[in-house]
Amino acid sequence: MSTISRMQQELQLLEAHSNLRRLPEMTHSGRDVTVNGRRMLNLSSNDYLGLASDRKLREEFLRTLTPDTFLPTSSSSRLLTGNFTVYEELETELSHLFGTEAALIFNSGYHANTGILPAVSDTHTLILADKLVHASLIDGIRLSAAKCIRYRHNDLAQLERLLKEHHAAYRQIIIVTESIFSMDGDQADLQALAALKHRYGNVLLYVDEAHAFGVRGRHGLGCAEELGCIRDIDFLVGTFGKAAASVGAYIVCKRVIREYLVNRMRTLIFTTGLPPVNIAWTLFVVRRLADMQERREHLTHISRTLREILLAKGYACPSTSHIVPMIVGASADAVLHAEALQRHGFYALPVRPPTVPEGTSRIRFSLTAEIRKEEIEELGNKL
Ligand code: PMP
């Protein structure tokens, strides 16, 4: 069979199982999206603080720009001629905010997660990763020379057994987790993970705060800030593409780790740095995150309301955050539920295998601080 026929056959199979993906055609207007001529409230955005749809904020930022500072490209890797001062300003700001020795910026969370683990691991490394970590982390693990064992989701007893069993056989062990998990919206117990790590001299902790940066903690720095364990985490990573309404990612870490990554991390070295104007926007937003407490509290409030509605309707809801899945099981059912909600003006999307395990297809509500409580209640009535 030719490659093209094989591809066609595979796509037909995906379609038959309601798992075929398409790039949706849509236009955006603030909190709303218009798809197929229907305007709907966007319940699938990662704009958790509502900053991406905040026109005033963009106007304020635009007033800071001139043709000399509107730099749309870095034209090079940061290691060559692409290292503009605004990068270092943002890194200094982040290391001050987190109270760490250093920070380093990457082009995206995907670049961070596929670059850091291969850079810091070798064949004498064991990675112990939560079963539900994001695809970008899995790809990073695959690209590394480390051996990897996945532990059951948030099962710290199993993790403890694995550490006990393997710590003597490896030069280093890296525990890899997210803080808020992207599909279930539940959380890792970062304090317990830190305590486990501290029992051994050769265990490091890697935490991806993609969904918590901006959203959690008194200054919006994430779950590690909220739980007082920033210093316990060796690789504390987050993204700017969600609550920070920008693009890119960071690690906050020890100076030596930063220097090592600059020398060894292929997804930093072999790519053009983000546009300086983009870094300037990220810095502009990051400097305002501490003042967004009201938005964080509102998001917490409406998320709790939605979780309570789902539980009252008999859905299993593992979430403890603003990512609220409604797990329906079969992919076809998830598609039907999403279509029904869209007819009622709510843009909710089905999430299906391989993004989530077979039989756990779901509607994934991803709430933002722009959504009003009445809208959540109305959504509840339509479920
Ligand atoms: N980590 C997690 C947990 C994510 O959910 C995502 C994106 N959805 C990423 C990393 C990738 O980040 P980015 O979109 O900045 O590449």
354 prior amide bond cis, ω within 30: yes
**Chain centroid to CA 176:** 14
Predicted confidence (pLDDT) per residue in 41-90, tens digit: 999 999 999 999 999 999 999 999 999 999 999 999 999 999 999 999 99
Q: Measure 137 CA to ligand 1 centroid, in angstroms.
A: 9
pLDDT of 242 = 98
For residue 88, with 0-12 CB atoms within 10 Å meaning exposed, 13-18 middle and 19 or more buried, which class applies?
middle
Mean pLDDT for 155-169 is 98
Question: Could you tell me which residues come within 8 angstroms of residue 200 by beta carbon, excluding any fewer than 6 positions away?
Answer: 163, 167, 173
Among 45, 44, 47, which Cα is nearest to 348's?
A: 44
Cα–Cα dist 112/259, whole Å: 15
pLDDT of 1 = 86
Mean pLDDT for 224-250 is 98
Give the residue, by CA position, lying nearest to ligand 1 atom 9.
Answer: 109
Question: Could you tell me which residues come within 8 angstroms of residue 202 by beta carbon, excluding any fewer than 6 positions away?
Answer: 167, 170, 171, 172, 173
Which helix H or strand E contains 160, and what residues bound it?
helix 156-166
This prediction's pTM:
0.96
Cα–Cα dist 338/365, whole Å: 10
Q: Measure 210 CA to ligand 1 centroid, in angstroms.
A: 6
The minimum-distance atom of ligand 1 relative to the CA of 133 is 3
Q: List, chain by chain if needed, residues with CB within 6 Å of any ligand 1 atom.
A: 108-110, 113, 134, 136, 178, 182, 208, 210, 239, 241, 249
Convert 82-97 into a string of H (helix), E (strand) and C (coil): CCCHHHHHHHHHHHHH
Cα–Cα dist 133/140, whole Å: 11
Cα–Cα dist 169/126, whole Å: 9
Cα–Cα dist 113/122, whole Å: 16
pLDDT of 227 = 98
Provide the token pair at 141: 């693990």
Cα–Cα dist 205/196, whole Å: 10
Asked if 181 and 59 touch (Cβ cutoff 8 Å), the reply is no
Mutation probe of ligand 1 site: the residue of 110, 117, 130, 183 with most atoms within 8 A of C-beta: 110
The minimum-distance atom of ligand 1 relative to the CA of 46 is 8
SS3 71: coil
Predicted confidence (pLDDT) per residue in 95-151, tens digit: 999 999 999 999 999 999 999 999 999 999 999 999 999 999 999 999 999 999 999
Question: What count of Cα atoms within 13 Å lies in the side-chain half-sphere of residue 75?
Answer: 3
Angle in degrees, CA 100, 170, 194, rounded to 5: 35
Mean pLDDT for 213-226 is 98
Amino acid at 219: H
When pLDDT is cut at 50, 70 and 90, the band that residue 304 belongs to is very high
Among 159, 187, 191, which Cα is nearest to 173's?
A: 159
Q: Measure 348 CA to ligand 1 centroid, in angstroms.
A: 19
Q: Measure 244 CA to ligand 1 centroid, in angstroms.
A: 13
Q: Does the pLDDT at position 20 exceed 90?
A: no
pLDDT of 21 = 87
pLDDT of 47 = 98
Return the minimum-mean-pLDDT range out of 131-135, 176-180, 315-319. 315-319
pLDDT of 354 = 85
pLDDT of 31 = 93
> Cα–Cα distances in Å, from 205 out to 5, 150, 228, 248, 351?
45, 15, 15, 22, 29
Mean pLDDT of the residues in the chain: 96
Among 327, 325, 323, 326, which Cα is nearest to 299's?
A: 323
Positions annotated as catalytic residues are: 46, 134, 178, 182, 208, 211, 242
